[in-house]
Amino acid sequence: MKEVRVCTAKRSNESPSGAFKRRNGLAQQDGGTKSRQVPIWEKGNLTLEEAAVYSGIGINKLREMSDSKDCTFVLWNGTKRLLKRRRLDEHLDRLFSI
């Protein structure tokens, strides 16, 4: 039979949201100091630096390729340039050389 423990004491320095996060498995095990990073191959949009690492193409070449008005794999967030990973892959698959 499984042992069940019930704890009714509330920690004095804990916010209600902290209790919710712990109860639902959302709290980080290291106390919240470690940032959660998504692997590049799971991201939908990449920065120029991430796209360069992902594709093996230099940042300047990616910038040049995505400057075109008819570029289908660029997403502008204000002045920030993001590259759509799947469309970038499709675009590179169609090319023979860059």
Domains, the chain, in order of start with CATH, read 40-94 (3.90.105.50)
Q: What is the pLDDT of residue 10?
A: 53
- Count other C-beta atoms under 10 Å from residue 51's C-beta: 26
pLDDT tens per residue across all 98 residues of the chain: 556 555 555 555 555 556 655 655 555 555 555 667 888 888 999 999 999 999 999 999 999 999 988 999 999 999 999 999 999 999 999 999 98
Query: Residues near 91 by Cβ (< 8 Å), separated by ≥ 6?
Result: 72, 73
Q: What is the pLDDT of residue 40?
A: 87
User: What's the pTM value of the predicted model, to 2 decimals?
Assistant: 0.61
Q: Per-residue DSSP letters for 29-89?
A: TTSS-SPP---GGG-SEE-HHHHHHHHS--HHHHHHHHTSTT-SSEEEETTEEEEEHHHHH
